[in-house]
Amino acid sequence: MAENIGKNNEEKKSNYLGIMFKCCNIYGRIYKNKDGNAYVGRCPRCMRSIRIAVGEGGTNERFFSAL
């Protein structure tokens, strides 16, 4: 049972990416879409949109900067 709890926590962790929005110099998170094929979101201040595709050959990094 403890294995299932750990797995659920890992799945929850990977549902977002931390983004430093350089447009407004502010940090935010973006989350996976319903289909699970991209992370989507907006800058919390200026509402500029961002989309990062999920695919093979990607990265394990969780934090990024966006211009």
What is the length of the chain?
Answer: 67
Report the pLDDT value the prediction gives residue 48, as an integer from 0 to 100: 96
C-beta atoms surrounding 39 within 10 Å: 21
Report the pLDDT value the prediction gives residue 58, as an integer from 0 to 100: 84
Report the pLDDT value the prediction gives residue 1, as an integer from 0 to 100: 54
C-beta atoms surrounding 20 within 10 Å: 13
Report the pLDDT value the prediction gives residue 60, as an integer from 0 to 100: 86
Mean pLDDT, contiguous 10-residue spans, the chain (67 residues): 55 80 96 95 96 89 91
Report the pLDDT value the prediction gives residue 7, as an integer from 0 to 100: 54
* pTM (2 d.p.): 0.75
